[in-house]
Structure 1
Amino acid sequence: MKTKMLNILSILSALLFLNGGLNKLFNYIPVPPDLPPALVADNAAFMEIEWLMPLVAIVEIIGGLLLIFRKTRAIGALVIFPIMCGILLIHATVAQSGLPLAIGLSLILGWIMLDSKNKYLSLLD
């Protein structure tokens, strides 16, 4: 039961990361008009660095694809971890309305990483 739940949550979070990465590349989700001014300023600053958003998008897409499959889930969690830290910090400091989703995704990622701890420990040997 626990493995089944982790598989379902991993696939759902992978789909969220895939959607986020693809949206960064193709901009198909409209930007809400009521974004906080600080978030708009942060996004404008990120967009000034031309290579940053495509890099984040590619990492989200690769990490999302890796999270889907059980064999690659551990490395996918490591790939997504820095992106998730950024998402969590942005929502904790600037856009608190997205904080529940960011915390939920962080908890799922933490569960995946905790479930994969033996794979990570073998890297340290």
Structure 2
Amino acid sequence: MKSIIQNIVSLLAGLMFINAGLNKFFHYMPIPDDLPEQVVNMNAAMAEIGWLLPLVAIAEIAGGMLFIIPRFRTLGAIVLFPVMIGIILIHLTVAPSGLPIAVAIFLVLLWAMYDQREKYLYLVKMDSLQKN
């Protein structure tokens, strides 16, 4: 049962990241009128750096796709983690209205990472770096 619930919430979180990434390329979602001025300025600054938004979009799309597939969820979580840290920081500092959904998605990401923690521990074990 736990695996079914985790697959469903991972699917929803992955689709949200894919949607956010695709929107950065195709601009199909309307921009809310009540965005704080700091968010508008920050988005304009990121758009001014020509490579930044496409990079974040590709990370969101690729990470979201990997996060949906159980076999690659660990890799998807690694890709999405820095993006999610940025999202949390933005909502903590300038746009607190979106914080609840950002925290919910972050918790899904952390749950998936905790569930697969032995795969991450292998990356940092000193034993794995030494040859016999």
Global fold match (TM > 0.5): yes
Pick the structure with greater CA Rg: 2
**Does 2:109 align with 1:121?**
no
Give the C-alpha shift of residue 33 in structure 1: 1.1
* Matching residue of 1:103: 103
Amino acid at match of 1:84: M
For residues 84-103 of structure 1, what are the structure 2 equivalents within 5 Å? 84-103=84-103
Q: Percent identity?
A: 54
Give the C-alpha shift of residue 2 in structure 1: 1.2
Q: Partner of 1:28: helix, strand, or coil?
A: coil
Unaligned segments of structure 1, at least 5 residues: none
Give the C-alpha shift of residue 57 in structure 1: 0.2
Q: Give the structure-1-normalised TM-score.
A: 0.98
Distance of 1:118 and 1:4 partners within structure 2: 20
- Structure 1 stretches (4+) deviating beyond 6 angstroms? none
* Matching residue of 1:82: 82
Q: Partner of 1:33: helix, strand, or coil?
A: coil
Give the C-alpha shift of residue 111 in structure 1: 0.1
Q: Give the structure-2-normalised TM-score.
A: 0.92
* Matching residue of 1:72: 72
Distance of 1:76 and 1:116 partners within structure 2: 12
* Matching residue of 1:49: 49
Taking only aligned residues, the RMSD between alpha carbons, in angstroms, comes to 0.7
Give the C-alpha shift of residue 101 in structure 1: 0.4
Give the C-alpha shift of residue 26 in structure 1: 0.7
* Matching residue of 1:4: 4
Aligned residues: 125
Residue-by-residue CA offset, 1:39-94 (whole Å, 9 max, x unaligned): 11111111110000000000000000001111000000000000000000001110
